[in-house]
Amino acid sequence: MSDTIEIVAVDQLLEVHASGKLTSAFYQELMPAVERQIEHFGKLRILFVMNDFHGWTAGAMWEDLKFDWHHGKEIERLAIVGESKWQEGMASFCKPFTKAKIQYFDHAHIDAARQWVIENA
């Protein structure tokens, strides 16, 4: 298993692709991209795509909580694209931590996820 991330910013959208297990280093790369988007657009939308994804390390979970605390109110929409039932459950788990509209999509519907996340932007 190879741990990889890719972050692409297009206007108000951050498209994040993750595989393997996220570490705190992921958030060191993500935070500057998020802060640039917020600086330019005020709010942002995230398309989070998981491929062969195995969760977070303990350090990454802590970074995720800090991320949600600092930027949860600046995220308008979060589309989560995954490949398993536990990943679908993440969408429900995230809802209390943000004001963002959150929707889960299976990989077969990634185009619908992209469309939904940029709707009314």
How confident is the model over 4-50, as pLDDT tens digits? Answer: 889 898 888 999 998 988 888 888 888 888 889 989 999 899 999 98
Expressed as residue numbers, the domain containing 98 is: 4-118
pTM: 0.84
Q: How many domains does the chain have?
A: 1
Q: Please compute the mean of the pLDDT values over residues 102-111 and round it to a whole number.
A: 92
Q: 23 in helix, strand or coil?
A: coil
CATH value at residue 59: 3.30.750.24
Chain-centroid distance of CA 14 in Å reads 8
| The pLDDT of residue 1 | 46
Q: How confident is the model at residue 115 (pLDDT cuts 50, 70, 90)?
A: very high
**CA atoms of 70 and 101, how far apart (whole Å):** 17
